[in-house]
Amino acid sequence: MTNTQVTLVQIDNYGPWTVTPEPRREADLQTMQSRLYADISQFVGNRGGYTFFTRFDNMIAVTNGCSFDDHALLQESVGNRYPVTLSLGVATGTNPVQALSDATELIQDAGSAQDKNRRECLEGRVIEPPHRADGDVQIAHFDVINATGNYTDELNAFDTFIEIEQGYAELMRHMRYAHDSLSFFVGGDNVIVVCPELGSAEYEEALCHVEDAVDVEMQVGVGRGTSAHEAGYAAKHALETCRTDGTRVELEWETT
Amino acid sequence: MTNTQVTLVQIDNYGPWTVTPEPRREADLQTMQSRLYADISQFVGNRGGYTFFTRFDNMIAVTNGCSFDDHALLQESVGNRYPVTLSLGVATGTNPVQALSDATELIQDAGSAQDKNRRECLEGRVIEPPHRADGDVQIAHFDVINATGNYTDELNAFDTFIEIEQGYAELMRHMRYAHDSLSFFVGGDNVIVVCPELGSAEYEEALCHVEDAVDVEMQVGVGRGTSAHEAGYAAKHALETCRTDGTRVELEWETT
Amino acid sequence: MTNTQVTLVQIDNYGPWTVTPEPRREADLQTMQSRLYADISQFVGNRGGYTFFTRFDNMIAVTNGCSFDDHALLQESVGNRYPVTLSLGVATGTNPVQALSDATELIQDAGSAQDKNRRECLEGRVIEPPHRADGDVQIAHFDVINATGNYTDELNAFDTFIEIEQGYAELMRHMRYAHDSLSFFVGGDNVIVVCPELGSAEYEEALCHVEDAVDVEMQVGVGRGTSAHEAGYAAKHALETCRTDGTRVELEWETT
Amino acid sequence: MTNTQVTLVQIDNYGPWTVTPEPRREADLQTMQSRLYADISQFVGNRGGYTFFTRFDNMIAVTNGCSFDDHALLQESVGNRYPVTLSLGVATGTNPVQALSDATELIQDAGSAQDKNRRECLEGRVIEPPHRADGDVQIAHFDVINATGNYTDELNAFDTFIEIEQGYAELMRHMRYAHDSLSFFVGGDNVIVVCPELGSAEYEEALCHVEDAVDVEMQVGVGRGTSAHEAGYAAKHALETCRTDGTRVELEWETT
């Protein structure tokens, strides 16, 4: 059984800030957002977690391995270095969607995303080290089969992007409603999915569903571990097996 | 008539690099990608352009105001500071999709995105200063009506993201095929669209289309200028008018 | 008794790289160096350590609290994100200068700083958690008395810098040879000194020495802790006491 | 005759900010400072200028090629992305020290570095394009002869640093008072000096002075150009000639 620790990272009162006193230069907002994301990704990542940029003003992280103090330190450090502050909600559970719902509620209960009096709230609880276990996190790493040959080197860059994006939009919705999983586009033709305990059948079903719905062919490697990094790293290796052997679903723990 | 200068930024041989000799840590890839994007956004942005992260390994920029030498300098500077290199294709035209297609072809003709011998190619041509004009760029800035009240403060963070994402996926496809425009999600609930010369009717049609297709209500401010920054800044002001007045389409050049 | 864990961070073969195949743009080198430093400072800092930029190609860090695995991860992460790689030597001891000498030798024994075949060496040993103790690190935080009033607001910016710099050059040499301490300029008019177990008398002597030699008046707060952050944070508080009370030496552990 | 455009970059009210409401984590301050410097270096550098970190809260830049609007944009962009703001003073002249003095006075006249009501002042004037000329900037690039063999690979890293630092402290003072030049340590064993029109004799005298005073042997390449980058790049090439030919002073414009 998985036990995913999910953190919702929300920039406090960000929308109003971007237009006060006048709209700020878009390029500066883009630069600031993506660097803030990069810093969080690095902080969480070198503790074994994964952070996804999602909407940038609301980022979602898998933080198994990050203590409550780590969360507080991240919050303090961002507050010292950026013109904006963060609120963090953290929750855990066997179902990643439910964990994220719980994390979201903790932040919503503390105030609106556009409440100028809600700043740097830090709510929730983490999995303490004695309760962490080998299969706490299950990660599936999808990519599009031969995306370079079929799309990047053939279509214009936007039409390629549309194909990848439609594949992602379909996969994210399906994995969420059919399999309680959180799917994130991570660049190129890659989608990383945070899953409960699923098996081959569910992944095969998902690949078929996406192919039927939007005609994008994907493959997937799946891994498990104590942390997102461990699970994700195993998933990457499994995906390499797909690429080498031409298989479409590889579960790293079933590979010989 | 618009005359958009579009640059395709492609990381050379990126896919293979990410798994050589072994898959690299995902958090490092995410950090590196988003910082590279931030740097390009800043370089292009402080010359009046806009850069969109798109797939991160393939970024699209509106570069009116960036000379050919600027492109070469960006390429050199990234090569000096990152473990990867960039190829750049630049093209211009009244139709942003066509300009991007031309820019893409220039890079495709130089070699595959996964050709390890194609490095730092720089192809194409820019609009020389004497030929630049006031209405060269038209930018539409969309957002979702009351996203915070309807979604962020109500649903869990992923379900909110799904709503925004479905709105974006529908809008990007529609604007591309119906109106020759390039749409980019830029965080929060914002989508920036690079357009040819369009009027109110086309934007209203697009809003209705998205609402009908995926039940997401958006509004849009539109601006024109010599550069993406000028056009986009006007669009932001027009969007502020939507927010204040409750209108759904505001063309900055028709505001009194 | 202190037990300082010191890490020498050396960029591999950096000098030759900066001029291969041609000298690289200075602004790019400066940008890359200072961002690399910032990243290391953040990585070490959010584990309780301090990193000093020193010569940028050779940085010195106080890493009590960073495990050997942390060092390996830092090395891997930098290798994934920068065009250069790092070698690390780590050593410990009651005398910070001796610890640094040991750390340096480990790297020198592995090869020259300009040996193109020496890459990513990682040598030495850390203090394991059971052996860490409260007073392992002693930090003194010096600044120049009324630097803003006497210098910054009065002299031109370079002449102010000369004054600060002469104070620093004298202090660094004196603290190293008279008191086995490592002094680092950290910006503004601040110098942070990594010390063995010293008392008020030594700090007063040092202040007098600097004032006699180069006519720069300084004050100092001193702290102790398990980590550089703890010791340094206590030192900052002690320095605030100097500023408030007009005293010149404050030892945090003697403050009531 | 040189005509150097010098910009003083001062963080507004920085000292008080670093201790409000409590002292901030040192590692965060170091990270923030060095990234801010990196960003300014990149902005100025990709317009042909050089920025020196100096004291970090007061940075000095050679900005020939940056317009007044560029300065305003830098200020706005930093204000959008950092928790601190910048004041800028810019002045020009044949004597870099005098130009810096003028730039400093403009900022001092606007208010103290620790005046909380002085924010984002932007004062002074730039050299307009029609008045820019080939030899506006003269840059000398010094380094320590065989620093790696004599120091880095032989002494402990701090003792090497002391040697480099004493050489720099002596050179900076001498070049400022004897030759109206601004000297900046830029990492490794490199010092970049912004000069008025000087010839071989002055550089040879300076090398002898430093060797006599602190027993550090240096060599120097000198270049001229319209911008700091052009002059500095020529100086780097001249320094390569020193390294190859074993000469101690090379003026790029006298090299055949």
pLDDT digits (tens, 9 = 90+) for B158-214: 999 999 999 999 999 999 999 999 999 999 999 999 999 999 999 999 999 999 999
- Establish if C31 touches chain A: CB-CB under 8 angstroms: no
Residues of chain B with CATH 3.30.70.270: 137-255
Question: How many other C-beta atoms are found inside a 10 Å radius of the C-beta of residue D134?
Answer: 10
User: pLDDT-derived band of residue A255, with 50, 70 and 90 as boundaries?
Assistant: low
Residue D211 has pLDDT above 90, yes or no: yes
Q: What share of chain B in percent tops pLDDT 70?
A: 99
Longest CA span, chain A: 61
Q: Are strands C86-93 and D122-124 parallel, antiparallel or unpaired?
A: unpaired
SS3 sequence, B125-160?
Answer: CCCCHHHCCCCCEEEEEEEECCHHHHHHCCCCHHHH
Which residues on adjacent β-strands are paired with residue A4?
A: A93
Smallest CA–CA distance from D43 into chain B, residue? B43
Measured distance CA(C105)–CA(C98) in Å, rounded: 11
Smallest CA–CA distance from B22 into chain A, residue? A237
User: pLDDT-derived band of residue D256, with 50, 70 and 90 as boundaries?
Assistant: low
Residue D255 has pLDDT above 90, yes or no: no
| pLDDT tens by residue, B215-226 | 999 999 999 999
Contact at CB, A25 and B45, closer than 8 angstroms: yes
User: pLDDT-derived band of residue A150, with 50, 70 and 90 as boundaries?
Assistant: very high
Tokens of C24: 């690289």
Which of A25, A97, A103 is the closest to B229 by Cβ?
Answer: A25
- Give the number of beta-carbon pairs within 8 Å between A and C: 19
> Domain C4-131 class?
alpha beta
Question: How many other C-beta atoms are found inside a 10 Å radius of the C-beta of residue C204?
Answer: 13
Chain A residues close to B35, C-beta within 8 Å: 34-35, 38
Which residues on adjacent β-strands are paired with residue C75?
A: none
A180, A94 contact by CB (below 8 A): no
Question: How many other C-beta atoms are found inside a 10 Å radius of the C-beta of residue B121?
Answer: 18
Tokens of C31: 């940008």
Which residues on adjacent β-strands are paired with residue B89?
A: B8, B123
Question: Choosing among B80, B84, B119, B120, which should be mutated to test the C contact, i.e. which has the most C CBs within 10 A?
Answer: B80
Contact at CB, A25 and D77, closer than 8 angstroms: yes
User: pLDDT-derived band of residue A254, with 50, 70 and 90 as boundaries?
Assistant: confident
Q: Which chains touch B (3 or more CB pairs under 8 A)?
A: A, C, D
C124, C103 contact by CB (below 8 A): yes
Tokens of C199: 């008392």
The number of C-alpha atoms within 13 Å of B33 and in the hemisphere containing its C-beta is 29
Measured distance CA(D250)–CA(C162) in Å, rounded: 27
Question: D74 vs chain B: nearest CA distance in angstroms?
Answer: 8
Which of B28, B39, B237 is the closest to A23 by Cβ?
Answer: B237
Long-range contacts of D97-103 (CB under 8 A, 24+ apart): D97/C156, D97/C158, D97/D176, D97/D180, D97/D181, D97/D182, D98/D180, D99/D4, D99/D5, D99/D6, D100/C156, D100/C157, D100/C158, D100/D6, D100/D8, D100/D60, D100/D182, D101/C156, D103/C157, D103/D6, D103/D7, D103/D8
Measured distance CA(D15)–CA(D24) in Å, rounded: 11
Residues of chain A with CATH 3.30.70.1230: 4-131
| pLDDT tens by residue, A84-139 | 999 999 999 999 999 999 999 999 999 999 999 999 999 999 999 999 999 999 99
Share of chain B residues as helix, strand and coil, in percent rounded to the nearest 5: 50, 20, 30
What pLDDT is stored for residue A46 in this prediction? Answer: 97
Question: How many other C-beta atoms are found inside a 10 Å radius of the C-beta of residue A145?
Answer: 17
Residue B256 has pLDDT above 80, yes or no: no
Contact map slice: B 34-73 vs C, CB within 8 A: 35
CATH of region B137-255: 3.30.70.270
Residue B234: closest CA among A26, A57, D71, D70:
A26
Measured distance CA(B238)–CA(C102) in Å, rounded: 64
Contact map slice: D 116-155 vs C, CB within 8 A: 148, 152-155
Residue A92: closest CA among A131, A53, A59:
A131
Q: Which amino acid is at D39?
A: D
What pLDDT is stored for residue B254 in this prediction? Answer: 87
Chain C residues close to B83, C-beta within 8 Å: 80-83
C223, C231 contact by CB (below 8 A): yes
What pLDDT is stored for residue A49 in this prediction? Answer: 98
- Establish if C186 touches chain B: CB-CB under 8 angstroms: no
Which of D23, D31, D104 is the closest to C240 by Cβ?
Answer: D23
DSSP result, D15-36: HHHHTSSSPPPHHHHHHHHHHH
Question: Choosing among A31, A43, A80, which should be mutated to test the D contact, i.e. which has the most D CBs within 10 A?
Answer: A80
Question: How many other C-beta atoms are found inside a 10 Å radius of the C-beta of residue A199?
Answer: 11
Residue B255 has pLDDT above 80, yes or no: no
Indicate the average pLDDT of chain A: 97
Query: Cα D178 to chain center, whole Å?
Result: 18
Q: Are strands B58-62 and A249-251 parallel, antiparallel or unpaired?
A: unpaired
Q: Are strands C249-251 and C218-225 parallel, antiparallel or unpaired?
A: parallel
Tokens of A4: 């995913």
Query: Phi and psi for D80 in degrees, rounded to 5?
Result: -80, -15
B239, B221 contact by CB (below 8 A): yes
Smallest CA–CA distance from A77 into chain C, residue? C46
What pLDDT is stored for residue D254 in this prediction? Answer: 87
Q: In angstroms, what CA-CA distances link A169 with A31, B10, B91?
A: 25, 23, 30
| pLDDT tens by residue, D43-77 | 999 999 999 999 999 999 999 999 999 999 999 99
Measured distance CA(B108)–CA(B102) in Å, rounded: 10
Peptide bond into A196 cis (omega under 30): no
The number of C-alpha atoms within 13 Å of B140 and in the hemisphere containing its C-beta is 30
Q: What average pLDDT score do residues A186-193 get?
A: 98
D72, D122 contact by CB (below 8 A): yes
Longest CA span, chain C: 61
Residue A40 has pLDDT above 70, yes or no: yes
Q: Which chains touch A (3 or more CB pairs under 8 A)?
A: B, C, D
Query: Cα D115 to chain center, whole Å?
Result: 25
Burial class (CB in 10 A: 0-12, 13-18, 19+), D212: exposed
- Residue D227: DSSP 8-state: S
Identify each DSSP E strand in chain B by its residue range: 4-11, 50-52, 58-62, 86-93, 122-124, 137-144, 182-185, 190-195, 218-225, 249-251
Measured distance CA(B20)–CA(C80) in Å, rounded: 11
B8, B60 contact by CB (below 8 A): yes
Indicate the average pLDDT of chain D: 97
Contact at CB, B42 and D39, closer than 8 angstroms: yes
Measured distance CA(A99)–CA(A140) in Å, rounded: 18
Question: How many other C-beta atoms are found inside a 10 Å radius of the C-beta of residue C250?
Answer: 25
Local confidence pLDDT in tens for the 256 residues of chain C: 999 999 999 999 999 999 999 999 999 999 999 999 999 999 999 999 999 999 999 999 999 999 999 999 999 999 999 999 999 999 999 999 999 999 999 999 999 999 999 999 999 999 999 999 999 999 999 999 999 999 999 999 999 999 999 999 999 999 999 999 999 999 999 999 999 999 999 999 999 999 999 999 999 999 999 999 999 999 999 999 999 999 999 999 986 5
Q: Which amino acid is at B94?
A: T
Q: Which helix (H) or strand (E) holds D123?
A: strand D122-124
| pLDDT tens by residue, D96-123 | 999 999 999 999 999 999 999 999 999 9
D255, D241 contact by CB (below 8 A): yes
- Residue B94: DSSP 8-state: S
Tokens of D11: 């963080």
Question: B11 vs chain A: nearest CA distance in angstroms?
Answer: 10
What pLDDT is stored for residue A194 in this prediction? Answer: 98
End-to-end CA distance of chain D: 22
| pLDDT tens by residue, D118-140 | 999 999 999 999 999 999 999 99
Chain C residues close to A73, C-beta within 8 Å: 46
